[in-house]
Amino acid sequence: MSDLKCDFCSAPHPSWRYPALTFVAYCAPDVAGESVGDWAACEICHTLIETNDHAGLAQRSLDELIVKYPEASQASRVLLESLSDLHQEFFVHRRGPAQPISVPA
Ligand SMILES: [Zn+2]
């Protein structure tokens, strides 16, 4: 569990879990493939999800992606669309409310 990351922005130690059905997402290479089951979310992404700020969520994912892969900024517009599509699939496949992830003592 220690290497758990936010499925939206890859931040370490996400504090929320969203029950979701497994689905296959065809996205930009290396961004996403198959989404297996639940999604983890950090506090910030959780807030964006709960406030239905889909644009903010996609933008945050993109920003974090570019921090990790600076060359991705050249394709930022395409990536933003891909991330929006992926998140849209998440919103379709999510099941039930977010559950807090208990932090091991
Ligand atoms: Zn996050």
Residue by residue, pLDDT tens for the chain (105 residues) are 468 899 999 999 999 999 999 887 665 555 555 677 899 999 999 999 999 999 999 999 999 999 999 999 999 999 999 999 999 999 999 999 999 998 665
Supply the DSSP string of 22-48, one letter for each residue. Answer: -EE---STTT--EE-S-EEE-HHHHHH
Ligand 1 centroid to 14 CA: how many Å? 7
Ligand 1 centroid to 61 CA: how many Å? 7
Ligand 1 centroid to 11 CA: how many Å? 5
Spatial contact of 19 and 94, defined as CB atoms under 8 Å apart: yes
Task: Record the tokens describing residue 105, joined without a space.
Answer: 């003592």
